[in-house]
């Protein structure tokens, strides 16, 4: 399948479900060409059926370096450049410190960290190609001349959350990656946005056995993320009550943070 040059080309990883699916849907509704990446062919095919001229489903296991490289080559042959890449694919596994095993660490790091790196390897060259095409874009839309790379982290990255030794570490790693990319890409026309969602109701969190304060729907989260992307914010955090609470706790000395989080986790069912 060859993709015709569109005014706006977006790549979203983890587009088969939850936040990524809602983001893909919204960009498609706005008329963008969307490269929708995930492993579940069926969900991607449903999106592509709704938007046959715009949606390009790409079945790929992003945790697998070889599969990711093949997908990258396939995409390269079909699009000239990317305007926006949202590296969203991820998972969450909780750690049981009384029954430690390697599994949750391996599972989470394979997609949240290695999957992000695997995606970056083929996305960055395509985002860089956008500057070569900038003369073809409308002169009055200066922001559109800059490409944008978006990473999906989590509010969990700012505090040592209980049972989140694997998940939190993967998101801290993603944040470091994106923040240090800002330094090396500072002189290139690529904006970098990091997103820290609070709780979002998706298949990922349906498994949670604890209350999720201020939880948003995936549609609400996607709307918040798109707003931050459109405004080219460096950091997008939501919902604000949780942002305020978590950031306030993060300002406390580490001993106080640990004491508080221990209290909270003990009172959770």
Ligand X SMILES: NC(=O)c1ccc[n+]([C@@H]2O[C@H](COP(=O)([O-])OP(=O)(O)OC[C@H]3O[C@@H](n4cnc5c(N)ncnc54)[C@H](OP(=O)(O)O)[C@@H]3O)[C@@H](O)[C@H]2O)c1
Q: Which residues are catalytic?
A: 167
The secondary structure element, H or E, covering residue 57 is: strand 55-59
Query: Least distance in Å: CB of 120 to ligand X?
Result: 14
Number of residues in contact with ligand X under rule CB under 6 A: 30
Q: How far apart are the C-alpha atoms of 87 and 229, rounded to whole Å? A: 13
Site for ligand X in 88-127 (CB under 6 A): 88-92, 111, 115
Span interacting with ligand X, options 71-79, 125-133, 198-206, 242-250, rule CB under 6 A: 198-206
Q: Which of residues 28-67 bind ligand X (CB under 6 A)?
A: 38-40, 60-63
In this chain, which of 31, 203, 213, 241 binds ligand X, going by CB under 6 A? 203
Distances (CA, A) of 189 to 10, 51, 90, 139: 16, 30, 27, 15
Q: Indicate the burial class of 163 (C-beta count within 10 angstroms; 0-12, 13-18, 19 or more).
A: middle
Give the DSSP letter of residue 62.
T
Segment contacting ligand X (CB under 6 A): 76-84, 139-147, 197-205, 235-243? 197-205
With CB under 6 A as the contact rule, the residue among 14, 57, 228, 239 that binds ligand X is 14
Answer for which of 18, 72, 104, 228 binds ligand X (CB under 6 A) is 18
Residue from the set 9, 10, 11, 19 that interacts with ligand X by CB under 6 A: 19
Buried b (16+ CB within 10 A) or exposed e, 101-134: eeebbebbbbbbbbbbebbbebbbebbbebeeee
- Which one, 13 or 130, has the nearer CB to ligand X? 13
Binding of ligand X by 213 (CB under 6 A):
no
> Contact region for ligand X (CB under 6 A) — 3-11, 16-24, 236-244, 252-260?
16-24
Question: Toward ligand X, which CB reaches closer, 94 or 133?
Answer: 94
Output 116 or 130, the one with its CB closest to ligand X.
116
What is the distance between the alpha carbons of residues 155 and 6, in angstroms, rounded to a whole number? 34
Distance, C-alpha 128 to centroid of its chain: 19
If one asks whether residue 72 binds ligand X (CB under 6 A), the answer comes out as: no
Q: Quick check: bond before 13 cis, omega within 30? A: no
User: Smallest distance, Å, CB 216 to ligand X?
Assistant: 8
C-alpha to C-alpha distance for 96 and 19, rounded to whole angstroms: 27
Tell me how far apart the terminal alpha carbons of the chain are, to the nearest angstrom.
50
Tell me if 17 contacts ligand X by CB under 6 A.
Answer: yes
Helix (H, G, I), strand (E, B) or coil at 93: coil
Q: How far apart are CA 32 and CA 56, in angstroms?
A: 11
Show contacts with ligand X in window 125-164 (CB under 6 A): 152, 154
Distances (CA, A) of 208 to 237, 264, 266: 21, 16, 16
Minimum separation from the CB atom of position 35 to ligand X (A): 13
Residues in touch with ligand X (CB under 6 A): 14-20, 38-40, 60-63, 88-92, 111, 115, 152, 154, 197, 199-200, 202-205
């Amino acid at each position: 399948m060859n993709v015709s040059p569109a005014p706006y080309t977006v790549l979203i990883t983890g587009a088969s479900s939850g936040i990524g699916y809602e983001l893909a849907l919204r960009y498609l509704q706005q008329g963008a060409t969307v490269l929708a990446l995930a492993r579940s062919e069926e969900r991607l095919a449903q999106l592509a059926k709704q938007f046959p001229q715009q949606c390009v489903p790409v079945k790929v296991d992003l945790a697998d370096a070889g599969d990711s490289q093949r997908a990258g080559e396939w995409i390269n042959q079909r699009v000239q450049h990317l305007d926006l890449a949202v590296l969203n694919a991820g998972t969450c596994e909780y750690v049981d410190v009384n029954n430690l095993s390697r599994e949750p660490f391996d599972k989470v790091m394979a997609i949240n960290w290695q999957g992000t790196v695997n995606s970056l390897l083929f996305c960055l060259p395509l985002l860089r190609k956008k500057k070569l095409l900038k003369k073809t874009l409308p002169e009055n839309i200066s922001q559109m001349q800059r490409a944008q790379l978006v990473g999906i982290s989590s509010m969990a990255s700012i505090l040592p959350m209980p049972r989140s030794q694997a998940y939190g570490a993967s998101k801290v790693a993603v944040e470091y990656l994106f923040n240090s990319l800002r330094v090396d890409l500072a002189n290139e026309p690529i904006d970098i946005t990091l997103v820290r969602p609070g709780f979002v109701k998706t298949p990922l969190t349906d498994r949670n056995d604890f209350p999720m304060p201020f939880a948003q729907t995936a549609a609400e989260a996607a709307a918040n993320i798109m707003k931050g992307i459109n405004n080219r914010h460096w950091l997008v955090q939501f919902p604000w009550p949780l942002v305020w609470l978590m950031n306030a706790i993060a300002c406390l000395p580490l001993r106080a943070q640990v004491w508080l989080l221990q209290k909270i986790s003990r009172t959770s069912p």
